[in-house]
Amino acid sequence: MAKDFGIGAEAKRTEDIRYLTGAGNYTHDVNVHGQAYAVFVRSNMAHARIKSVGAAAAEGMPGVLAVFTGEDFKDVGGNPAGWFIGSRDGSPMKEPKRPVLAHGKVRHVGDAYAAVIAQTYMEAKDAAQAVADASEFEELPAIIDMAQALADSSNRVHDEIADNQCFDWGWIEDNRAKVDAAIKAAPHVTTLELVNNRLIPNAMEPRASIGEYNPGTGDYKLTTTSQNPHLTRLLVAAFVLGIPENKLQVVAPDVGGGFGSKIYHYGEEALVLAAAKKIKKPVKWVAERSESFLSDAHGRDHVTKIELACEKDGTFIAFRTETMANVGAYLSNFSTVTPTFLHGTLMAGPYKVPNVYVNVKTVFTNTAPVDAYRGAGRPEATYSLERVVDQMCRELGLDPFEVRRKNFITTDMFPYTTPAGLAYDVGNYHATLDKAIELADVAGFEARRTASAAKGKLRGLGLSTWIEACGIAPSNLVGILGARVGLYDAATVRVNPTGNVSVMVGAHSHGQSHETVFAQIISDMFGIPMSSVDIVHGDTAKIPFGMGSYGSRSLAVCGQAMANAADKVIAKGKKIAAHMLEATEAEIVFSDGVFAVSGTNRSKTFGEIAFSAYVPHNYPLATLEPGLEETAFYDPANFTYPAGTYLCEVEVDADTGKVDVCNFTCADDFGNVMNPMVVRGQVHGGVVQGIGQALLEHGVYDENGQLLSGSYMDYTMPRADDVPFVTVDHSCVTPCSHNKLGVKGCGEAGAIGSPPAVVNAVLDALNRGGHKIAHIDMPLTPSRVWSAMNA
């Protein structure tokens, strides 16, 4: 039977059936016989010394089985940062221990300092309240503002870190003097000071974990909300609890969104495992939404000064950036790479600018840890670049479209190494710009603006041209940059005796559609129906050691690993076919599911080869092994570099400052596209997260370190009536040059390219309306816009 939906088809998603019928299997849906429940006791102060933990108050309460405090984990390991980043002066980054439960001090509101295990959830919750009531603290002044934190050594998040600074990083430090000189000599310099607002990821499924322990075998099992079960296993087993990795199975079943926040290992995962061993029962924990707000890793939170030096005609000479990046109270796993190598290396954008220098100081504060959130560093880079370019155009009276055209790297310049250290392999930035202009009907903008004006609305058009480095890998490069892990991925393709295929992949799908898209690729390569292919993911006992899904890497890294394993299967199939057809291997050709002797009508179907592989009655065993199963580990040669142009049109209500997004248009180059429907869906979601950042969302701490936006009443999530339809085009294709699929990755693009397009549109509307405003910080709430208009 031939393939049905191959590469490039708009195949409907196979995973949808279980989700649409209530048959999904999320961690909260998993119940293990005899399970007890964990509830965490979390600090309501941002910064305090723990004088005593009232664990005794819970003992003897109904149903209580155990109480854990920081004392119980003081001798096990800490949850480490995944990347080592050095300071400009050569000193190492400051890396305080991140314990399972806070010990000695609590460092942010929501920092867990105890956990209660009880027979029922309600009993655990009641006892946790008793522990909280009986605990005593010496409250310390909260350290919230980054500049103050750096300046004031008398108050420290970690007692051993005098200036609350993790590191002071320069990129590329050797270029600093040259960039300074170029800016000093430049005919024009535009300077902007920007806040990239703190965001709270808010995957709709709160985090949850179930720990199990079998005293008979010493085996542990962790069922958890993770984007990368092997990474979590490595961290919790080898770094935190000291469990041999082979004795810990980590299962991430259906996961209800991640956006970065479920990459990381969190202390709750270690706690449920330790507790399960101690009380000899499975232990389940499910976060309440308020716990998610307080304890999930947040995103962004940069304060940046960016300068763009240029000729009077808009030709770029230099970009220089100084950024303070908040890492919160502890270093989350990717917190040190996000503001550095995922940000600083992108500060040339898609432009042929000769000089780039970036300085990033990372700062500890009494806030939740900050880490990678959809886009991770690249939205911050794109926002700074595209805002300052837009402002420069306004200052010099230049056309923002023409300035981009003038400065884009041109197609004849690839491969192109930027002064920020990346080697872009392919691209066509003019093509996506032209496509976006066409799709957004820029020619008709003036007429629409006039129509808006007739309604009393200010209309504006905002442009953003973005590029990212994604397909996060390759190991040899990230190793040089400070990664403590490799960033390859892996897949095993197992052809079963009856000719259907099980594919075990290291990537994890939590909305990305791997079960469909990866099956399309296998269907295409093997010439079999998609329904004969199962994609297995999320269980360390089943899959090869892969690094999971983030950084738009699933397809470009794991997908290519899978394709390589499938190629190995085809090569083995040719050997089997040669044996069966009494030909040489070189004579066998494989096409559309049939192995044939070239130039003859002698052939075997894929299914016949599969069956033979497992019923090898007459195999020449010295030269041909039974079985048809292959594994490939794939470590790419480079990042991939998707890029594109986003155009946003807004109307601003001059009386209230309210912004309505009227049209949003994306023209992206993702390389080859495996399933256009899925790609469009990824962009829709990313763009709306970006519109959320630009207009609605803000994680706000007050000066005492209380999270003011800690619920859906206070943290404004984009809702259906806040956003328009989004026009998405991916017809401009320059295939990635270093993976065979020619793919680049599309998961983060929308969130990277959209915030500056929205903000530029609002400022365009205001300036066209006679309000001379250089910048408004995100989120552009009605209050902020109105205040800027009426300052």
Both tokens of 742, joined, read: 């020619």
Which one of residues 18, 74, 184, 740 is an interface residue with other proteins (CB under 8 A)? 18
Question: Nearest distance from residue 525's CB to other proteins, in Å?
Answer: 24
What DSSP string describes 619-666? --TTT--S--EEEEEE--SS-B--EEEEEEEEEEETTT--EEEEEEEE
Question: Nearest distance from residue 675's CB to other proteins, in Å?
Answer: 9
Both tokens of 636, joined, read: 């790419």
| Closer CB to other proteins, 137 or 664, in the complex | 664
Report if residue 16 touches other proteins, rule: CB under 8 A: yes
Strand, coil or helix: 365: coil
Question: Nearest distance from residue 405's CB to other proteins, in Å?
Answer: 23
Report if residue 677 touches other proteins, rule: CB under 8 A: yes
Question: Nearest distance from residue 433's CB to other proteins, in Å?
Answer: 17
Question: Nearest distance from residue 766's CB to other proteins, in Å?
Answer: 26
Question: Nearest distance from residue 208's CB to other proteins, in Å?
Answer: 10
What DSSP string describes 556-595? IIIIHHHHHHHHHHHHHHHHHHHHHTTS-GGGEEEETTEE
**Near other proteins in 153-212, by CB under 8 A:** 202-206
| Closer CB to other proteins, 394 or 457, in the complex | 457
Number of residues that bind other proteins (CB under 8 A): 59
Report if residue 257 touches other proteins, rule: CB under 8 A: yes
Report if residue 87 touches other proteins, rule: CB under 8 A: no
Report if residue 24 touches other proteins, rule: CB under 8 A: yes
| Closer CB to other proteins, 180 or 660, in the complex | 660
Strand, coil or helix: 97: coil
Both tokens of 318, joined, read: 């230099």
What is the DSSP-derived secondary structure letter of residue 55? Answer: G
Instruction: Report CA 624 to chain centroid distance, whole Å.
Output: 43
Report if residue 289 touches other proteins, rule: CB under 8 A: yes
Encoded one letter per residue, x for contact with other proteins by CB under 8 A and - for no contact, window 480-519 reads ------------------------------xxxx------
- Yes or no: say if 744 and 551 are a contact pair by the CB < 8 Å rule: no
Amino acid at 181: A
Both tokens of 68, joined, read: 């854990």
Question: Nearest distance from residue 664's CB to other proteins, in Å?
Answer: 9
Angle between helices 514-526 and 560-580 (to 10 degrees): 30
Which residue reads 């609350």 in tokens? 164
Question: Nearest distance from residue 439's CB to other proteins, in Å?
Answer: 6
Report the candidate in 391, 384, 400, 509 with the shortest Cα–Cα distance to residue 774.
391
Q: What are phi and psi of 526, to 5 degrees?
A: -95, -10
| Closer CB to other proteins, 286 or 578, in the complex | 286
Strand, coil or helix: 31: coil
**Near other proteins in 111-150, by CB under 8 A:** 122
Rounded to an integer, what distance in angstroms lies between the CA atom of residue 102 and that of residue 338? 25
| Closer CB to other proteins, 317 or 530, in the complex | 530
End-to-end CA distance of the chain: 70
Dihedral sign for Cα atoms in the order 718, 722, 725, 731: negative
Provide CB contacts within 8 A for 374, sequence distance 6+: 201, 259, 260, 299, 686, 689, 747, 748, 751
Question: Nearest distance from residue 726's CB to other proteins, in Å?
Answer: 6
| Closer CB to other proteins, 277 or 457, in the complex | 457
Question: Nearest distance from residue 124's CB to other proteins, in Å?
Answer: 14
Question: Nearest distance from residue 596's CB to other proteins, in Å?
Answer: 37
For 356, 574, 662, 712, the CA distances from 84, given in Å and listed in that order, are 23, 46, 44, 35
| Closer CB to other proteins, 493 or 683, in the complex | 683
Rounded to an integer, what distance in angstroms lies between the CA atom of residue 405 and that of residue 389? 12
Report if residue 9 touches other proteins, rule: CB under 8 A: no
**Near other proteins in 569-628, by CB under 8 A:** none
- Yes or no: say if 26 and 253 are a contact pair by the CB < 8 Å rule: yes
Report if residue 23 touches other proteins, rule: CB under 8 A: yes
Rounded to an integer, what distance in angstroms lies between the CA atom of residue 341 and that of residue 344? 6
Report if residue 637 touches other proteins, rule: CB under 8 A: no
- Using CB under 8 A, which of the segments 23-31, 272-280, 315-323, 530-538 binds other proteins? 23-31
Question: Nearest distance from residue 44's CB to other proteins, in Å?
Answer: 18
Which one of residues 62, 712, 740, 787 is an interface residue with other proteins (CB under 8 A)? 712
Report the candidate in 57, 54, 55, 67 with the shortest Cα–Cα distance to residue 118.
67
- Using CB under 8 A, which of the segments 33-41, 168-176, 275-283, 705-713 binds other proteins? 705-713
Burial of 376 from C-beta contacts in 10 A (0-12 / 13-18 / 19+):
buried
- Using CB under 8 A, which of the segments 182-190, 253-261, 399-407, 491-499 binds other proteins? 253-261
- Yes or no: say if 186 and 310 are a contact pair by the CB < 8 Å rule: yes
Task: Provide the 10 A C-beta neighbour count for residue 10.
Answer: 12
Report the candidate in 226, 261, 384 with the shortest Cα–Cα distance to residue 248.
226
Which one of residues 70, 256, 527, 779 is an interface residue with other proteins (CB under 8 A)? 256
| Closer CB to other proteins, 511 or 527, in the complex | 511
Which one of residues 2, 17, 177, 413 is an interface residue with other proteins (CB under 8 A)? 17
CA gyration radius for the chain? 27
Report if residue 686 touches other proteins, rule: CB under 8 A: yes
Provide CB contacts within 8 A for 715, sequence distance 6+: 200, 202, 293, 697, 698, 699, 709
| Closer CB to other proteins, 555 or 726, in the complex | 726
| Closer CB to other proteins, 358 or 679, in the complex | 679
Which one of residues 3, 28, 574, 698 is an interface residue with other proteins (CB under 8 A)? 28
Report the candidate in 132, 134, 160, 164 with the shortest Cα–Cα distance to residue 148.
164
| Closer CB to other proteins, 205 or 386, in the complex | 205
Which residue reads 């320069």 in tokens? 170
Encoded one letter per residue, x for contact with other proteins by CB under 8 A and - for no contact, window 715-754 reads --xxxxx-x-xxxxx--------------------x----
Report if residue 680 touches other proteins, rule: CB under 8 A: yes
Question: Nearest distance from residue 269's CB to other proteins, in Å?
Answer: 20
Question: Nearest distance from residue 714's CB to other proteins, in Å?
Answer: 10
Provide CB contacts within 8 A for 434, sequence distance 6+: none
**Near other proteins in 347-386, by CB under 8 A:** none
In the complex, the residues that contact other proteins under the rule CB under 8 A are 12-13, 15-24, 26, 28-29, 122, 202-206, 254-257, 259, 288-290, 439, 510-513, 677-678, 680-681, 684-689, 711-713, 717-721, 723, 725-729, 750
